[in-house]
Amino acid sequence: MPLAVSTDVDADPANDLCVARVPLFQGLTHAQQVEVAGFARTVRLDAVEQAYTAGSEMSQLMVVHTGQVKIARTSAAGHEQVIRVLGPGDFIGESAFLTGTRPDHAAEALVYTELCVFRHADLGRLVEKHPSIGLRMLQGVSQRLDDTEARLASVISGNVSSRLADYLLSLPATPGPRGAIDVTLPLAKKDIASLLSTTPESLSRQLRKLTDTGVISQQEQGRITITDVTALTALSTLSKRD
């Protein structure tokens, strides 16, 4: 399936370079980043619009400029498993570039999203000219592998509470009174449950348990105040020790 139908315009190298946000291109000078941006085109996706589906031909590297993209697999029984959520600076499509394989997952915008898209043919030329791009791409793939292994170990341990604690501590936070921090859940609870390899019911129970013990306080619209950061951190480390 081709990239979702969206309005495409040439990336403006002089205006808020998409590539400047991406670790993949941060080893380049500004002049080199402008050169790279010249190969990019902008793709705009509305919420729930798909960038691609499982099995589709992936001949493009997609960099998230603004917004969020959900990466998920769907089982034969129709159950969705969220793999990860991409934000500004994250990229997808490198596996197809490196191995030529088609994706076994789908990519869907969670909110209005803008992507910088590079054809693999152009990316190959850029890697040849700027080897640091290829090195950083491999570093990114290696980091994802480390994250996947850590997540698998946590799932095997069966400790949903520690996975939830680790997830809450990984969210962007703002300081609150008396050492508390405030975070906002970026996804629907059913998607967070899928991401943590648990059920929505189990996730709700764990959130309620953390609330009842005074570790967190749940607000409206997905806002959570972590009132006891030390206790949540101790709970998070359980998955790393098991």
The 10s digit of each residue's pLDDT in 107-149 is 999 999 999 999 999 989 999 999 988 888 888 778 777 777 7
Tokens 């850590």 -> residue: 150
**Which residue ranges form the domains of the chain, and what is each CATH number?**
8-155 (2.60.120.10), 158-241 (1.10.10.10)
User: With contact defined as beta carbons under 8 Å apart, do 198 and 157 qualify?
Assistant: no
Which pLDDT does position 95 carry in this prediction? 82
Cβ-proximal residues to 153 (8 Å cutoff; 6+ apart), any chain:
239, 242
Q: Strands of 50-52's sheet, edge to edge? A: 50-52, 106-109, 69-74, 80-86
> Which pTM was predicted?
0.71
Q: Which residues of the chain have pLDDT under 50?
A: 1-15, 241-242
